[in-house]
Amino acid sequence: MSWYRNAVWFVKGLREYTRSGYESASKHFNPADVEVNVAGRSFLVTGANSGIGKATATEIARRGGTVHLVCRNKERAEVAKTEIVAETGNQNIFLHIVDISNPKEIWKFAEKFKSEHKLNVLINNAGCMVNNRELTEDGLEKNFATNTLGTYILTTALLPLLEKEVDARVITVSSGGMLVQKLNVSDLQSAGGTFDGTMVYAQNKRQQVVLTEQWAKVHRNIHFSVMHPGWADTPAVRSSMPDFYQTMKNALRTEAQGADTVVWLAVSAEATQLPSGLFFQDRQPVPTHLPLACTHSPLEDEEKLMEVLEEFSQKFKSTSPG
C-alpha cells in the first residue's frame, strides 16, 4: 500500500500544501483571530533562528509576547534575535542555546528554565531530516533523537510549568508526510533495512501526532495541537530535500505562510474552542489518516511508544549533569 499512500499524498500536496493551496484556504480566515495582544504571556519556540520557527517567533513578538528562542547554533541564534527585536521593537526576546538531539542537555535546560521563568505556550518546531543514518554522542539515531525523543523530553519536562498557567498550550510542528506512515514501534531508531531519511522523518512526524493525541488525553488543563505547515520554502527544505526543492520551488509557501497556523494556534481564542489533540492545516482540523491507507495503529502500539520514550527520558534524566 505504500505506493498508494505516496501517490495520494503527493496529489493532495499539489492541491493543498503549495502556495496556491494556502491562498485558497486563507480566503476563509478571519483576520481578527490573530489580531490580539499577548503581552504578559510567555512563549517558547524551538528551532527559532530560521524558517517557520523564526517566522512564528517574529509574529508572536509583534503581538507583544515574551518569546524564548531555543536554538542549537549560538551565532545564528544571536543574529535571529537581533533581527526579531529590530523588526518588532519587542525587547522581551530571550535566547537559550540547546541541542534538541541531546537529551541530557534538554533536561538540564528545562530544570533551569522552570526555576527562572513562567511558560504559557510551548511550540515544538525544531526538527531535522538527516538522509544517512547518523548516531548522536548518546548512540541515538539523529532524526529520532531530535524529532521524537527531543520533543517528548522537552514537553514532558515543561508540563509542570504549563500546568500552573491559565490557557496553556503545546503546539508541535509536524508534516503531512506523516500521512504515508503507520506508527512503527518495533524499530524506532531505524536500525533495520535500507535507511530512507525522508521516510524516517515521516515516521517521526507520525510519532509526534500520536504523542499529541496521548498527551491530550492525560493533561486536560493544557490545549495540545499538532500541525502541518504545508510545503514551505525554508532553509531546512533546501538543504534536506534539494531535488524536491528544485522541482517545487516556484510553488512553495513563504515562511510566514507556513507559520500562519502555528501563530493562530498559539495566540487565537478560536483555536482552543476546538478539542485538544487535533491535527491542523490552514487553521482547520484535518484527518490524520488518508482514506484506505491502512495507517491506523492499535492502541497498544501507541501506549508502547509512550512507555519506550518515558524509559529513554528517565535514563537520560538520571545521567544529566546538575
* Residue 320 within any structural domain of the chain: no
CATH of the domain at 58: 3.40.50.720
125-138: average pLDDT: 95
Q: What are the beta bridge partners of residue 225? A: 171, 278
Enumerate residues 6+ apart whose C-beta is below 8 A from 45. 53, 56, 57, 60, 67, 68, 69, 70, 123, 125
- Provide the 3-class DSSP secondary structure of residue 17: coil
Q: Is the pLDDT score of 32 beyond 90?
A: yes
Return the percentage of the chain with pLDDT > 70, whole number. 98
Q: What is the pLDDT of residue 244?
A: 75
Q: Tell me the C-alpha distance between 180 and 10, whole Å.
A: 10
* Residue 120 within any structural domain of the chain: yes
C-alpha cell at 123: 511550540
Q: What is the pLDDT of residue 144?
A: 98
Q: Tell me the C-alpha distance between 11 and 261, whole Å.
A: 22
**Which domain, by its residues, includes 23?**
3-315
Q: 299-319 vs 103-116: helix axis angle to the nearest 10?
A: 80
Lowest mean pLDDT among 220-229, 286-295, 307-316: 286-295
Q: What is the pLDDT of residue 274?
A: 98
Does the active-site annotation cover 201?
yes
Amino acid at 111: E
Lowest mean pLDDT among 99-103, 137-141, 181-185, 228-232: 228-232
* Residue 186 within any structural domain of the chain: yes
Could you read off the pLDDT of 178-213 as tens digits, one per residue? 999 999 999 999 999 899 999 999 999 999 999 999
Q: What is the pLDDT of residue 236?
A: 78
Q: What is the pLDDT of residue 319?
A: 56
* Closest C-alpha among 225, 181, 216, 219 to residue 200: 181
Q: Tell me the C-alpha distance between 294 and 291, whole Å.
A: 8
- Provide the 3-class DSSP secondary structure of residue 192: coil
Q: Tell me the C-alpha distance between 141 and 42, whole Å.
A: 32
Domain count, the chain: 1
Amino acid at 26: S
* Residue 193 within any structural domain of the chain: yes
Q: Tell me the C-alpha distance between 58 and 88, whole Å.
A: 7
Could you read off the pLDDT of 303-315 as tens digits, one per residue? 999 999 999 999 9
Q: Tell me the C-alpha distance between 216 and 223, whole Å.
A: 7
Place of cell 535507511: 195
Q: Is the pLDDT score of 232 beyond 80?
A: yes
Q: Where do runs of H (alpha helix) occur along the chain?
A: 2-16, 19-26, 51-62, 74-88, 103-116, 142-143, 151-163, 197-218, 235-240, 242-248, 255-267, 299-319
Place of cell 530544570: 111
Please pick, among 17, 152, 201, 245, the residue that the annotation labels catalytic.
201
* Closest C-alpha among 137, 237, 260, 224 to residue 177: 237
* Residue 321 within any structural domain of the chain: no
Enumerate residues 6+ apart whose C-beta is below 8 A from 299. none
Q: 255-267 vs 51-62: helix axis angle to the nearest 10?
A: 50
Q: Is the pLDDT score of 235 beyond 90?
A: no
pTM of the complete model: 0.95
Phi-psi sector, 167: left (phi>0), alpha (psi -120 to 50), beta: left
